[in-house]
């Protein structure tokens, strides 16, 4: 409970004032009581005192943690012994020993000095209250006149215990209440039952300790044995609880514990008006590490990632491993979204520092989704779900970090209505295709077109694919979307063919398509229905599409290739498929992602990536096409580098069929390309496949 105070302390806040007052008063009181003790008292108390003092310090150093308890400080069994000292030898001895034990334990835990001071003072005042009750009821003990206990003393002892519990609780809760700006009563009530039970049980043991002190230390084992059993039991159940709540590989909290802590954080946030942040983090390349370097390296990497995450967060934040390469981060207190994004950025930067593993250095990229309570969700489950949506979005957009945005959420109402409309739109033929030409850099001839889908929405106009393709992907509409696009594209190919234009048609396919066992048959059916030869169809798939389920994807790809359909690897360079793997795929072409091509004129690093990708693909016998060619310079450079084909706004934007038909038939256009293309220096290395 006390840990939360660190957050609310300014130099002159009410909390600081309160803590200072209690500390000052309590310490003065302690000094006053302890002043009366004489060395002679110590001698009088003898070995019994030494034993009690030793047990007391041990109890303070090894607090008892019980399963299910939310109190991170545990329960100090020293309470039993201090209260026994109070009963037997009076307040001075009790306060002195409590102070000594607190200082020793706090030093070994590295607790802040002001906290130690406050705890010593608070305890002194609470034992003072208990002592007041005892004295009032005529029970006084002192070193030279120890109190003995009979059954008749129990009511007075019970009342004194009650005074201690109430006073201690009020003093601590008041600080928490000040810090959260909350009513004292609410804070006390939140923890009262647990406190009363545990502290009550510890205090109930004290009279027995007194009996041992007064009769014979030889009776001590009778007392210690059950205490020892309680410790052992608690630590065994604690071990079981730990296992149930932690990930075995990394030792980090698991999903269950993260959810539980998020629930606690939300409760606390409600009381204190904080925001809570939840991140979901997914490593972008982890599968490849496992596939190429083996599971041992993968496991080691995960452990390192866990440690690295912990090292850039505050101690009160939680890092959990949720399974596979997915981690969760809980920030129990966060100012706002900008602050959360800063933390996420710090995490991403930390992961890009290379990890040294069994002689290889790996750096990682991660996609992080952020959701905040209460801004984005009003309970734990929803918070988790929204962080997941945000992470999915970050992965899709390759932006690395995204905070939850209802516009990108397939479950949000806005998207739900769009989902309903999309299903109908596919049936009602509202999807239209635009076509973008691809031109052969060697000959300047059009080598094909790519079909790119748009939605002619009755109210919102022409919608670009990124507003609805991901939605279709997430909601099971992809199958009908792809079928619709395939059908339209092939009909257009047939129409062009009839008018004498022999143009190869490229269609984009998604992960859902490739992991559907009927996909190959559907393609085959569409080809025979439209009378288009399989060799006139090209399917573009991204690395991510393949890597999502390599085994199944491979089966489908092999079947498609056998059919005679050409396969092209889209967005190349943005995924991380290993070269060894790429060689096994039956693709004939790779498409360098536009992010590299767009920047190759201004960024040497991107130009290098493009150059080495071209060399590498040619080495593997693959054709290379560059997408996103916007300028004549890029066109020329690609041509010089030996790239086989290009596509981009410089040639043509995607256009409706009629416009593209005109473009294709306009010989001038093609000739112009040929002029630029012919400036290529001699001796260019030719593509291995055409």
Catalog residues that contact ligand C2E under the rule CB under 6 A.
436, 452-453, 464-466, 469, 485, 508-510, 540, 570-571, 594, 627-630, 647-649, 654
Q: Say which entry of ligand C2E, Ca ion, none residue 401 contacts (CB below 5 to 8 A, set by partner kind).
A: none
The CB-of-280 to ligand C2E minimum distance in angstroms stands at: 24
Q: In whole angstroms, what is the distance from residue 44 CA to residue 52 CA?
A: 14
Q: Which of 368, 309, 373, 311 is nearest to 336 (CA)?
A: 373
Instruction: Give the residue with the Cβ less far from Ca ion, 571 or 589.
Output: 571
Q: Tell me the CA distances in angstroms from 59 to 82, 83, 171, 200, 214, one per residue in order.
A: 10, 13, 22, 16, 21
Instruction: Give the residue with the Cβ less far from Ca ion, 388 or 589.
Output: 589
Q: Say which entry of ligand C2E, Ca ion, none residue 275 contacts (CB below 5 to 8 A, set by partner kind).
A: none
Matching residue, tokens 């190919």: 493
SS3 at position 484: helix
Instruction: Give the residue with the Cβ less far from ligand C2E, 213 or 511.
Output: 511
The CB-of-659 to ligand C2E minimum distance in angstroms stands at: 14
The CB-of-578 to Ca ion minimum distance in angstroms stands at: 20
Residue 594 near residue 587, CB atoms below 8 Å: no
The CB-of-519 to Ca ion minimum distance in angstroms stands at: 17
Q: Which of 106, 570, 589, 644 binds Ca ion (CB under 5 A)?
A: 570
Instruction: Give the residue with the Cβ less far from Ca ion, 592 or 673.
Output: 592
The CB-of-509 to ligand C2E minimum distance in angstroms stands at: 6
Question: Which residues share a beta bridge with 326?
Answer: 282, 323
Q: Tell me the CA distances in angstroms from 245 to 252, 254, 313, 315, 321, one per residue in order.
A: 9, 6, 20, 19, 11
Instruction: Give the residue with the Cβ less far from ligand C2E, 88 or 594.
Output: 594
Instruction: Give the residue with the Cβ less far from ligand C2E, 199 or 436.
Output: 436
Q: In whole angstroms, what is the distance from residue 23 CA to residue 120 CA?
A: 8
Q: Which of 523, 490, 529, 527 is nearest to 506 (CA)?
A: 490
Residue 424 CB partners (closer than 8 Å, separation 6+): none
Site for Ca ion in 624-683 (CB under 5 A): 627
The CB-of-281 to ligand C2E minimum distance in angstroms stands at: 25
Q: Say which entry of Ca ion, ligand C2E, none residue 469 contacts (CB below 5 to 8 A, set by partner kind).
A: ligand C2E
Q: What share of the chain is helix, strand, coil (3-state, %, to 5)?
A: 60, 15, 25
The CB-of-274 to ligand C2E minimum distance in angstroms stands at: 40
The CB-of-422 to ligand C2E minimum distance in angstroms stands at: 13
Q: Which of 507, 465, 464 is nearest to 483 (CA)?
A: 507
Q: Tell me the CA distances in angstroms from 407 to 275, 398, 413, 441, 468, one per residue in order.
A: 22, 17, 9, 40, 11
Q: Is the peptide bond before 374 cis (omega within 30 degrees of 0)?
A: yes
Q: Say which entry of ligand C2E, Ca ion, none residue 102 contacts (CB below 5 to 8 A, set by partner kind).
A: none
Extract the tokens encoding 496: 């062009």
Matching residue, tokens 């992080």: 368
The CB-of-512 to ligand C2E minimum distance in angstroms stands at: 9
Residue at shortest CB range from ligand C2E: 648
Instruction: Give the residue with the Cβ less far from ligand C2E, 239 or 399.
Output: 399
Residue 310's CB: how many other CB atoms inside 10 A?
15
Instruction: Give the residue with the Cβ less far from ligand C2E, 121 or 629.
Output: 629
- Position 60 contacts Ca ion (CB under 5 A): no
Q: Which stretch binds Ca ion (CB under 5 A): 140-148, 286-294, 398-406, 504-512?
A: 504-512
The CB-side HSE value for 464 (13 A sphere, CA atoms) comes to 2
Q: Say which entry of Ca ion, ligand C2E, none residue 205 contacts (CB below 5 to 8 A, set by partner kind).
A: none
Q: Which of 409, 571, 589, 606 binds Ca ion (CB under 5 A)?
A: 571
Q: Which stretch binds Ca ion (CB under 5 A): 132-140, 141-149, 208-216, 567-575?
A: 567-575
Residue 268 CB partners (closer than 8 Å, separation 6+): 4, 274, 332
Instruction: Give the residue with the Cβ less far from ligand C2E, 107 or 653.
Output: 653
Q: Tell me the CA distances in angstroms from 566 to 427, 450, 490, 506, 689, one per residue in order.
A: 28, 13, 14, 9, 12
The CB-side HSE value for 320 (13 A sphere, CA atoms) comes to 24
Q: Which of 192, 196, 178, 185 is nearest to 4 (CA)?
A: 178
Instruction: Give the residue with the Cβ less far from ligand C2E, 210 or 422.
Output: 422
φ/ψ bin of 359: left (φ > 0), alpha (ψ from -120 to 50), beta (otherwise): left
The CB-of-541 to ligand C2E minimum distance in angstroms stands at: 9
- Position 402 contacts Ca ion (CB under 5 A): no
Q: Say which entry of ligand C2E, Ca ion, none residue 485 contacts (CB below 5 to 8 A, set by partner kind).
A: ligand C2E
Q: Say which entry of Ca ion, ligand C2E, none residue 465 contacts (CB below 5 to 8 A, set by partner kind).
A: ligand C2E
The CB-of-547 to Ca ion minimum distance in angstroms stands at: 16
Residue 104's CB: how many other CB atoms inside 10 A?
14
Q: In whole angstroms, what is the distance from residue 672 CA to residue 632 CA?
A: 11
The CB-of-589 to Ca ion minimum distance in angstroms stands at: 11
Site for Ca ion in 522-561 (CB under 5 A): 540
Q: Which of 131, 123, 175 is nearest to 156 (CA)?
A: 131
Q: Which stretch binds Ca ion (CB under 5 A): 318-326, 511-519, 578-586, 622-630?
A: 622-630
The CB-of-647 to ligand C2E minimum distance in angstroms stands at: 6
Instruction: Give the residue with the Cβ less far from ligand C2E, 172 or 569.
Output: 569
Q: Which of 392, 343, 369, 385 is nearest to 259 (CA)?
A: 385
Q: What is the largest CA-CA distance in the chain?
A: 118
Instruction: Give the residue with the Cβ less far from Ca ion, 385 or 652.
Output: 652
Q: In whole angstroms, what is the distance from residue 107 CA to residue 124 CA?
A: 19
| Separation of first and last alpha carbons in the chain | 71
Q: Which of 200, 258, 18 is nearest to 121 (CA)?
A: 18
Q: Say which entry of Ca ion, ligand C2E, none residue 453 contacts (CB below 5 to 8 A, set by partner kind).
A: ligand C2E
Q: Say which entry of Ca ion, ligand C2E, none residue 284 contacts (CB below 5 to 8 A, set by partner kind).
A: none
Contacts of 662-665 with CB under 8 Å at 24 or more apart are 663/437, 664/437, 664/446, 664/496, 664/501, 664/503, 665/501
The CB-of-364 to ligand C2E minimum distance in angstroms stands at: 25
Instruction: Give the residue with the Cβ less far from ligand C2E, 464 or 531.
Output: 464
Instruction: Give the residue with the Cβ less far from Ca ion, 153 or 540.
Output: 540
The CB-of-425 to ligand C2E minimum distance in angstroms stands at: 14
Give the count of residues interacting with Ca ion (CB under 5 A): 5
SS3 at position 541: strand
Residue 173 near residue 271, CB atoms below 8 Å: no
Instruction: Give the residue with the Cβ less far from ligand C2E, 340 or 539.
Output: 539
- Position 508 contacts Ca ion (CB under 5 A): yes
Q: Which stretch binds Ca ion (CB under 5 A): 30-38, 93-101, 502-510, 552-560?
A: 502-510
The CB-of-489 to ligand C2E minimum distance in angstroms stands at: 8
Q: Which stretch binds Ca ion (CB under 5 A): 42-50, 268-276, 546-554, 620-628?
A: 620-628
* ∠ CA 29-31-33, rounded to 5°: 70
The site for Ca ion (CB under 5 A) is made up of 508, 540, 570-571, 627
């Amino acid at each position: 409970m006390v840990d939360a105070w660190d957050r609310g302390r300014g130099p002159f806040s009410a909390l600081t004032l309160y803590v200072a007052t209690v500390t000052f008063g309590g310490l003065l009181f302690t000094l006053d009581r302890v002043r009366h003790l004489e060395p002679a008292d110590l001698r009088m108390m003898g070995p019994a005192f030494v034993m009690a003092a030793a047990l007391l310090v041990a109890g303070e150093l090894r607090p008892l943690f019980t399963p299910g308890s939310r109190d991170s400080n545990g329960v100090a069994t020293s309470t039993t012994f201090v209260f026994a000292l109070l009963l037997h030898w009076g307040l001075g001895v009790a306060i002195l020993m409590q102070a000594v034990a607190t200082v020793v334990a706090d030093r070994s835990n590295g607790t802040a000095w002001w906290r130690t001071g406050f705890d010593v003072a608070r305890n002194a005042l609470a034992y003072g209250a208990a002592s007041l009750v005892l004295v009032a009821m005529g029970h006084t003990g002192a070193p030279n006149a120890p109190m003995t206990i009979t059954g008749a003393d129990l009511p007075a002892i019970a009342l004194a215990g009650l005074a201690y519990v109430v006073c201690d609780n009020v003093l601590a809760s008041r600080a928490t209440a000040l810090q959260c700006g909350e009513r004292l009563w609410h804070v006390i009530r939140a923890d009262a039952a647990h406190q009363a039970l545990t502290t009550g049980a510890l205090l109930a043991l004290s009279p027995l300790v007194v009996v041992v002190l007064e009769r014979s230390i030889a009776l001590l084992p009778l007392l210690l044995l059950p205490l020892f059993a309680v410790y052992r039991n608690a630590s065994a159940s604690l071990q079981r609880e730990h296992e149930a709540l932690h990930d075995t590989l990394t030792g980090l909290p698991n999903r269950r514990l993260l959810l539980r802590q998020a629930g606690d954080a939300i409760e606390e946030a409600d009381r204190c008006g904080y925001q809570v942040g939840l991140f979901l983090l997914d490593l972008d390349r982890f599968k490849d590490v496992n596939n190429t370097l083996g599971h041992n390296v993968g496991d080691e990497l995960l452990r390192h990632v866990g440690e690295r995450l912990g090292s850039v967060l505050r101690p009160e934040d939680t890092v959990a491993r949720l399974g596979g390469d997915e981690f969760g981060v809980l920030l129990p207190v966060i100012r706002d979204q900008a602050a959360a994004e800063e933390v996420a950025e710090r995490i991403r930067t930390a992961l890009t520092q290379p990890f040294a593993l069994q002689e290889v250095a790996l750096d990682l990229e991660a996609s992080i989704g952020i959701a905040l309570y209460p801004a984005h969700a009003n309970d734990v489950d929803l918070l988790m779900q929204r962080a997941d949506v945000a992470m999915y979005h970050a992965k899709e957009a390759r932006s690395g970090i995204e905070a939850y945005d209802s516009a990108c959420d397939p479950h949000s109402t806005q998207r739900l209505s769009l989902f309903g409309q999309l299903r109908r739109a596919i049936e009602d033929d509202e999807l239209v295709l635009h076509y973008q030409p691809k031109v052969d850099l060697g000959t300047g001839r059009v080598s094909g077109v790519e079909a790119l889908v748009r939605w002619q929405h009755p109210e919102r106009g022409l919608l670009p694919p990124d507003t609805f393709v991901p939605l279709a992907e997430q909601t099971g509409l992809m199958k009908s979307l792809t079928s619709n696009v395939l059908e339209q594209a092939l009909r257009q190919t047939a129409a062009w063919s009839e008018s004498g234009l022999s143009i190869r048609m490229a269609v984009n396919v998604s992960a859902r398509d490739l992991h559907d066992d009927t996909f190959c048959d559907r393609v085959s059916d569409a080809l025979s229905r439209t009378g288009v030869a399989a060799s006139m169809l090209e399917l573009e798939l991204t690395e991510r599409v393949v890597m999502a389920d390599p085994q199944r994807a491979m089966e489908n790809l092999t079947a498609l290739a056998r059919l005679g359909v050409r396969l092209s690897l889209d967005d190349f360079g943005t995924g991380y498929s290993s070269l060894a793997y790429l060689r096994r795929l039956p693709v004939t072409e790779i498409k360098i992602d536009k992010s590299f091509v767009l920047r190759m004129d201004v960024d040497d690093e991107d130009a290098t990536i493009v150059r080495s990708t071209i060399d590498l693909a040619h080495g593997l016998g693959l054709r290379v096409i560059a997408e996103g060619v916007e300028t004549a310079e890029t066109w020329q450079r690609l041509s010089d580098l030996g790239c086989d084909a290009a596509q981009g706004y410089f040639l043509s934007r995607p256009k409706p069929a009629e416009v593209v038909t005109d473009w294709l038939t306009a010989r001038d256009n093609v000739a112009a390309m040929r002029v630029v293309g012919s400036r290529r220096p001699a001796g260019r290395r030719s593509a291995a496949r055409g």
